[in-house]
Chains A and B, each alone.
Chain A
Amino acid sequence: MITAKWLISHQQLIGVTLGAAFGFLARIVMLRSDYRQYPAFPHGKIIHLALGLIAGALGAVAVPALMSKDYTAITFLSLAAQQFRDVRNMERNTLTAIDHQELVPRGATYIEGIAVVFESRNYLAIATALIVSFAATVFGWFWGILLGIACVAVVLQFMKGKKISDIAEVSFAPVTAENASVTVGDIYMMNVGLEPNLDIFRKQAIGFVLTPVSDDAKVTLANLGLRQAILHDVSTRLGVYRDDGEPALVPIAKLNLKTGALGVLILPREHSPDKALKAIQDVPLLESAIRKPTKANKPKGDQSRG
């Protein structure tokens, strides 16, 4: 029978169990299939849940091992780090392989961003397990659960990244398709030679202009990877009006070189401008696309700008 007395006498076991459980729980709450549709299939999820359980268990057993003066146990964690670097490679390889089959590819920057997130979420699971296991072993199971809940809350905060709407104002812009030229607002997008294709652009295309809100945002918006991510995300959420063997029908994003504004031309399957606007605003700001030139160019000791 599990009694209060038994619980007190087996504090290490409780610590490890609680640590592993909370580490696993943290991985579960971080593993969500959203509009990115990945991982959407059960087997893909099982891989990450299994790795999450391993991460949780690894983090949890480190504390009792250290407490029994088994300091070499820390090398265990480096083994885990190696393991999870492989997770990043695995995700990168899979996504790169399937990217060739997408009508609108994700692009290397987006794939790298997703792979990094998968790796870092395993580390967050380890950290949660480590903290909970430590608290439960040293202070008691009650503190373990309390800190565990706090850790899961912190982990959820980590999931909220910045979005396009944080760096740019997204507004509608008219699409004109005349004389073999397609323009969004006053930004020239591309040459489309055939009249039937121009007709499709007139009927289906929606144009947006993304006006950067700061000098930093201007440089970030110019990143090609971020532009591809915008096109991919919008095409995922609204579908895309194109097919293999229709080379003229491509969603495209181009800069207005004078102002730094980004013109986006999309061909959604579902012609819903409001949904498209929301989709663009919600595109995550890719970590490797973010630039902060104003910070880099700031003179030493000057805290006034940046």
Chain B
Amino acid sequence: MFLTTDASNISNGSAAIIAKSEEDLQNLTNLIEKILDCSAAKLKDGLYMIVDRH
């Protein structure tokens, strides 16, 4: 699953959350990481991917 501030980073159909700002993105990523117990990997500024390493 992806989290981004820029919808053009992701293709149609992929599970993604579009954040309003960089701060919002950090908050959301932090929450999703804790909720899903999956770590957040940063691909570039404004684009995170949630990875299940278990």
Give A contacts to B, CB under 8 Å.
Answer: 180, 191-196, 244-248, 250
Contact = CB atoms under 8 A, between A and B. Distances in A.
21 contacts: A180-B42, A191-B41, A192-B41, A193-B29, A193-B33, A193-B41, A193-B42, A193-B48, A193-B49, A194-B29, A194-B33, A194-B40, A195-B26, A244-B37, A245-B37, A247-B33, A247-B38, A247-B39, A247-B53, A247-B54, A248-B39
A270 to B, nearest CB: 24
Interface string B25-54: 010011001100111111000001100011
**Size class of B's contact patch?**
10 to 19
Nearest to A248: B39
Interface of B: 26, 29-30, 33-34, 37-42, 48-49, 53-54
A245 B40 contact: no
Contacts of A193: 29, 33, 39-42, 48-49
B37 A180 contact: no
A194 to B, nearest CB: 6
Given A247-B53, A250-B53, A194 B30 contact: yes
Nearest to B49: A193
Nearest to A244: B37
